[in-house]
């Protein structure tokens, strides 16, 4: 009896926001053989997970005619690379998680008439996923009302990476500040300004755990020390899920994976959508998230500092129960959806 083909390609590129949901699927389903197809930008992130992966060529489209021609050649070369991978591993399904890397691999899958699935993490479909959803067999979305999604798209939510909960002993209230893959330099300016107006009786019982850019790390640590605030400042947290789990408040951008992990850990959050995000998708993510979770959304260019200080004190030292409404009954897991497609 021939061995059943359980090979699945998981395709992601560009940022961790596209990659982490793919990693979560591979971590949570050990019954299949997942092979990652990525670009050079996320290959470095993927190394820590020790999974089989291949890098293919791709590029975003550009209005400049010469760069546009170059992009077309890169995508064609990436499609050729993907064809060779498909001929070797014969995947039964190719799942695209966004980023330009998805284009050549999904196109190659269509050449071989292989089933394809697009997973959109954000509340506004990215341009790549919008394009590929027109030719893909199935589409999965992370928010019930995702802009530009097909009417038959399935609501699966964002898969969460596996992590073992490690409760730490705390003698102070912990505020976690996450800047996303770009580090959010603005938080290195906002958070100290907020803390300067808070009395020492509160600050001495506070700890800031912050992700920041390398160039801001030293001056940020110095600023917190002058304020007599205990801090841990890093460029990257290897175990960000446990940092969220052990925090009392999370201050963050509004990437879909970050919001999903905050929701999973049921934490109150202060959200600052990235104003330059494509199609303003981070603001849409935050609005959808707020319908089900206890949070406040702020425009980084118009911050009510006095109100923010009072809110921090209220939530940290006079904390109410966090309200969530996960609406699990209305969604199926992405892993189950993949199983259904492979039947």
Cβ proximity of 156 and 140 under 8 Å: yes
Portion of the chain with pLDDT greater than 90, in percent: 76
Q: Are residues 105 and 194 in the same domain?
A: no
CA pair distance 172, 154, nearest whole angstrom:
42
- Is residue 38 domain-resident? yes
Q: Are residues 128 and 199 in the same domain?
A: no
Task: Report the range of poorest mean pLDDT among 132-136, 219-223, 336-340.
Answer: 336-340
Q: Are residues 98 and 214 in the same domain?
A: no
Report pLDDT for 327: 47
CATH number at residue 97: 3.40.50.2000
Report pLDDT for 326: 46
Total domains in the fold of the chain = 2
Angle between helical axes of 102-111 and 65-89 (0-180°, round to 10): 50
Q: Are residues 295 and 177 in the same domain?
A: yes
Q: Are residues 154 and 188 in the same domain?
A: no
Q: Which helix (H) or strand (E) holds 118?
A: strand 115-120
- Is residue 167 domain-resident? no
Note the pLDDT tens digit of each residue in 130-145: 999 999 999 999 998 8
CA pair distance 140, 19, nearest whole angstrom:
15
∠52-56-58 over CA atoms, to 5°?
145
Residue 304 belongs to domain spanning: 173-317
Q: Are residues 84 and 199 in the same domain?
A: no
- Is residue 199 domain-resident? yes
pLDDT value at 328 more than 50 = no
Q: Are residues 19 and 116 in the same domain?
A: yes
Whole-model pTM over 0.85: yes
pLDDT value at 2 more than 80 = no
**Rounded mean pLDDT, 125-130:** 94
- Is residue 326 domain-resident? no
- Is residue 285 domain-resident? yes
User: What is the 3-state secondary structure of 120-182?
Assistant: ECCCECCHHHHHHHCCCCEEEECCCCCECCCCCCEECCCCCCCCCCCCCCCCCEEEEEECHHH
Closest CA to 41 of 98, 83, 80: 98
Note the pLDDT tens digit of each residue in 265-312: 999 999 999 999 989 999 999 999 999 999 999 999 999 999 999 999
Q: Are residues 27 and 135 in the same domain?
A: yes
């Amino acid at each position: 009896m021939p061995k059943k083909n359980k090979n699945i390609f998981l395709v992601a590129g560009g940022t961790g926001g596209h990659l982490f949901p793919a990693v979560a699927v591979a971590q949570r389903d050990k019954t299949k053989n997942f092979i990652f197809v990525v670009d050079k930008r996320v290959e470095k992130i993927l190394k820590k997970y020790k999974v089989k992966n291949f890098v293919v060529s791709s590029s975003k489209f550009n209005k400049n005619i010469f760069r546009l021609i170059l992009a077309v050649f890169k995508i064609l070369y990436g499609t050729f690379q993907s064809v060779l991978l498909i001929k070797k591993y014969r995947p039964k399904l190719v799942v695209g998680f966004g980023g330009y890397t998805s284009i050549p691999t999904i196109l190659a899958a269509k050449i071989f008439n292989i089933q394809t699935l697009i997973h959109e993490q954000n509340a506004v479909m990215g341009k790549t996923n919008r394009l590929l959803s027109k030719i893909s067999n199935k589409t999965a979305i992370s928010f019930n009302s995702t802009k530009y999604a097909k009417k038959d798209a399935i609501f699966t939510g964002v898969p969460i990476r596996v992590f073992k909960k490690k409760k730490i002993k705390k003698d102070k209230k912990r505020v976690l500040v996450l800047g996303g893959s770009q580090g959010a330099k603005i938080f290195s300016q906002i958070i100290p300004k907020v803390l300067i107006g808070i009395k020492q009786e509160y600050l001495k019982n506070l700890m800031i755990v912050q992700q920041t850019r390398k160039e801001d790390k030293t001056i940020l640590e110095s600023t917190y020390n002058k304020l007599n605030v205990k801090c841990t400042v890093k460029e990257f947290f290897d175990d960000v899920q446990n940092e969220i789990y052990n925090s009392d408040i999370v201050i963050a951008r509004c990437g879909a994976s970050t919001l999903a992990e905050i929701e999973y850990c049921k934490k109150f959050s202060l959200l600052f959508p990235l104003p330059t995000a494509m199609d303003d998708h981070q603001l849409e993510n935050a609005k959808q998230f707020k319908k089900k979770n206890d949070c406040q959304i702020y425009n980084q260019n118009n911050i009510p500092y006095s109100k923010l200080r009072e809110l921090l004190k209220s939530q940290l030292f006079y904390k109410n129960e966090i309200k969530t409404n996960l609406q699990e009954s209305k969604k199926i897991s992405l892993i189950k959806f993949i199983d259904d497609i492979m039947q």
